[in-house]
Structure formats: structure tokens, C-alpha cells
Structure 1
């Protein structure tokens, strides 16, 4: 029996656990939202930035470095996250679910366990994100400094979630308020 089949059998597709994922550009408010979700939902928070900062200090200088290290973290955490969900614990992932590939990983997590999920999309424009990024860099509180050039490079890979991806989407505006609970309601389309 594979770990995947054990998780599905153990979850029974009647699990109260919810997997929360966040999608939004750099400095759109993903970490702020995940902190709020953990408090409101009494969930377990797993932060990619925290893992990256501890496991790969001063090793992430390029997008390729990030992709390599993030892939390793996801490989290590997949079974752990699924075990938490199968045990009935809701999980909030402070990982950027900003591409179809990263969202496919999220789908694998919740579909294998058979639990509920939410994709929280922060619809925040570039000007606001860049202003927040500048303030975040100046504060020194975030484990990573991101230049405007890096912002532009990374943002080129950002892909809006599409209804065809099959997520339960909650959309937030730049103030962090819920604007919509459906990709179709806000015009996210193919």
C-alpha cells in the first residue's frame, strides 16, 4: 500500500480539515493573510520563507536557486502536510501558489487526502505591491530582500488562477477584504 492510498483510506473523504493556499504577487499580503487565517481557523501554519531562511541561509540569489530550494522543501513536506490533513488538522500554507505548477502541487495535497480547500487570491496591483515591498525591505523584518528588478522577473511568471483549475477561490482586494468567493464572479477566465 502506498502512502497515497493510506492517506485516502484514512481520510475517508469526510474530513473536516481544510487546506488553505495563497496566491498573489510579492508583497500583496500573503503572509499577513495567512497569519490571520491561522488565528481565525485554528490551523497549522507552514511558511515557505521560514523554511527557506533556516535551511538555505544566504543560498538563494537567483530565481533558479529559489526554484531548486522550494522544490526540495515541497518534496520533504508533502507527506507531512497530507498526514496533518488526514488527521483532521487544517493547514495554512504560506507558499506562493502563483503558477499552474505550484497550484498542481496544492491540488495533489488536498485531492489525495480528500479534504476541503481554499485558494485565497490577493488581487493587488503592481504599484501597491512595489510600495509594500519597499517598506518591507526597509523594515528588515522579512528574511529576504527583493529588489524591484527581482520583483519584475518573478512577477513575469505569475499566472492568475483559472476556473478550469477547479479551486474553491476566495478573492481579496488590496485592503485584505473579501471581494468575491468565486473565480467566475470576478472574471478570472481561461
Structure 2
């Protein structure tokens, strides 16, 4: 018997390891990976120049993907949503996806220090294998919006830390 369809969400700063974890989670049977970075690069790369550009196009992508994610969950598939669950507003949208379908959920929180994330980001930028290059300035700016999940939000949280 197949496992209950589950929406897997990831929360963590840039270069915390969200996409790496998502690929591992999606390796399980009957799971589909949906990567924001892959879709954003394919659809909007020439237009993505600022944090404001990212915010605008990410909202468009969420609007387009929401019903698709719900359809996959209703079809019995688990979805690994490699979109950052880094703000209360993003998590509210994600909550709607599993609540609308009755699917289970897990919020994977990568609790990784800024220093570790910066080191990983610099290596990732140097390797050139990621869809986007992120400067230290952009890291600081985007990290300023980061809000870790709280118990009051009511998510099933799994914490991964450096300890």
C-alpha cells in the first residue's frame, strides 16, 4: 500500500541545503520534485536582476503552480516543493495547498548558521552549477526577510541543524 500523499516543504536560508534535501526526499517512490529555481530560470531568467524581480516572478510562479501541486496531491503523489518556506506569507500559501487537498505535510527546517550558508554560497557561486549567482549583498538582503517557523503556525516541523 502506498504512503499517504505528503507535501514536503523546506525552510532555510540561501545555501542552507534545501535543494539537496529536496532531491533526497524526492527519491522516494511516488514523489514529485517541483523546483522554484529550475522553473524561474527557465521562464524568467533574463528578467531576474533584483530582489524585487524575484519577488514579482516568484508570486506569478506560485499562482501558476498552486493548482498543479494540489492536483498531484489529490492524485496520490507526494510533492517535494523546493520553494522557500522562509516567510510567514509563503508558508500561508503552502498551508493552503495541503489543507485544500487533505494531504499530510512536513516542514523541513534547515537551521544553519549564516557563516555556513555564506561559505556554501561562495563555493556554489565558484562552481557555477546553480541556476543563479547570489552576491553577499543579496544574501544579506534576502536573509533579512527570513522568519523561522514558530509553533503557533501549527506545522509538522522536522529540524536539521549543524549540531
Normalised by the size of structure 2, how large is the TM-score? 0.96
- Give yes or no for contact 1:44–1:92 (8 Å, CA) kept in 2: yes
1:42 deviates by 4.1
- Who is 1:49 aligned against? 37
- Who is 1:70 aligned against? 58
Q: State the Cα RMSD in Å.
A: 1.2
- Who is 1:115 aligned against? 103
- Give yes or no for contact 1:28–1:174 (8 Å, CA) kept in 2: no
- Who is 2:160 aligned against? 172
- Who is 1:102 aligned against? 90
**1:41–1:104 Cα change, 3 Å:** farther
**2:15 maps to which of 24, 27, 41:** 27
1:41 deviates by 5.2
- Who is 1:178 aligned against? none
Gaps of 5+ in 1: 1-14, 176-190
- Who is 2:67 aligned against? 79
**1:124 maps to which of 112, 132, 136:** 112
1:173 deviates by 1.4
- Who is 2:134 aligned against? 146
- Who is 1:38 aligned against? 26
Normalised by the size of structure 1, how large is the TM-score? 0.82
Write out the 4+ residue segments of structure 1 that deviate beyond 3 Å after TM superposition: none
- Who is 2:121 aligned against? 133
- Give yes or no for contact 1:120–1:171 (8 Å, CA) kept in 2: yes
- Give yes or no for contact 1:38–1:92 (8 Å, CA) kept in 2: yes
